[in-house]
Amino acid sequence: MGETTATMKITYREALKQSIRDALHQDERAFLLGEDVGRYGGAFAVSKGLLKEFGPDRIMDVPLSESGFVGAGIGAAVGGMRPIVEVMTINFGLLAFDQIANNAATLLHMSGGQINVPVVIRMGCGIGRQLAAQHSHSWEPLFAHIPGLKVVSVGTHEDARSMLLAALKEPDPVILFEYTAMLNLEGETSTDFQPVDLTHAKIRRVGKDVSIITYGAGVYKSLQAAEALAQAGIGAEVVDLRVLRPLDDKTVMASVSKTHRALIVEEAWQSVSISSEVSARITEQCFYELDAPVRRLGGVEVPIPYPKHLEDGSIPQQEQIVSATKKLLQHD
């Protein structure tokens, strides 16, 4: 018999916190900066207790100016540090968009390859917790559009525990999307934390009938939907994109070529989205492998409502994934 890997139950929030602790212990150049990350313990309690453990030089509270402190993080990265910049929620990332798109993403190119910017920018993301139209967004496609950035999505407890460490080893800027609706979600992770691959998508469940391609908060919903589909005799393969820029075409195309059907699930608005890009690439690269048109399931194109029932109705849920998959398969 093979060895059994030891596991532990942990919340998504705690997995994120432990990843920051590991990063600070492993690299003395690493430090965390952001609004309320120190004395308050983070807007979502992700950094609670770290100020006492590491001190104010490595857990730095900053003024309420995203452009200012993201710019400071970029400057520190150029100077040889390994800053972890926390942007409380993705909508505030727009206030730093100039720094991210016009400085972090361009300096390597504009310096003729002489200036690397090894900054990691963590952003709270996704729909949920009744944060309404100003604080509840899945805007990953905006950042995945920009050359010069690596954009990754933390869709599982495994990745929450280990993805930051991999991001800090990148020589160029990484945008790390974390999902606020998942913070209290408990999950099993291995106690043997392996480095995360920031190059490839990951097959989370193997299947033969249809590929459900997703990321972020869609991963667990898709896995639950795949479990329900299995009860109906449908083998759904769940592909977690993980890296939204650059996309891992090889893994996606291999899955679709095997199952011959693709459903792409995301919380972001469907128009001009990650699913739009993945759908186009599937059509370009393996059109003749398809037994049915590619189907997309995205967020309803409205500002995110505050009421819980409307918020839930604005994004794909497990039941909709199951229904869309059955329609794709013409399954009764």
Backbone angles phi, psi at 299, to 5 degrees: -70, 150
Place of tokens 């002489």: 114
The beta strand positions in the chain, using DSSP E, are 7-11, 30-34, 59-61, 82-87, 120-125, 150-153, 174-179, 186-190, 202-205, 210-214, 236-240, 243-245, 262-269, 295-299
- 259: closest CA among 233, 284, 290? 290
Count CB neighbours of 244 within 10 A. Answer: 26
Distance CA 34, CA 48 (A): 13
Token code pair at residue 54: 């590491």
Order of strands across the sheet that contains 243-245: 59-61, 30-34, 82-87, 120-125, 174-179, 150-153, 243-245
Residues marked as catalytic: 66, 135
124 near 90, Cβ under 8 Å? yes
139 near 102, Cβ under 8 Å? no
Please give the full DSSP string across 83-142, using - where no structure is assigned.
Answer: EEEEESSHHHHGGGHHHIIIIITTHHHHTTT------EEEEEEBS-TT-HHHH-B--HHH
Give the gyration radius of the chain's Cα atoms: 20
Tally the C-alpha atoms within 13 A of residue 200's C-alpha that lie toward its C-beta: 11
Distance CA 238, CA 305 (A): 29
Q: 82-87 and 120-125: which strand pairing?
A: parallel
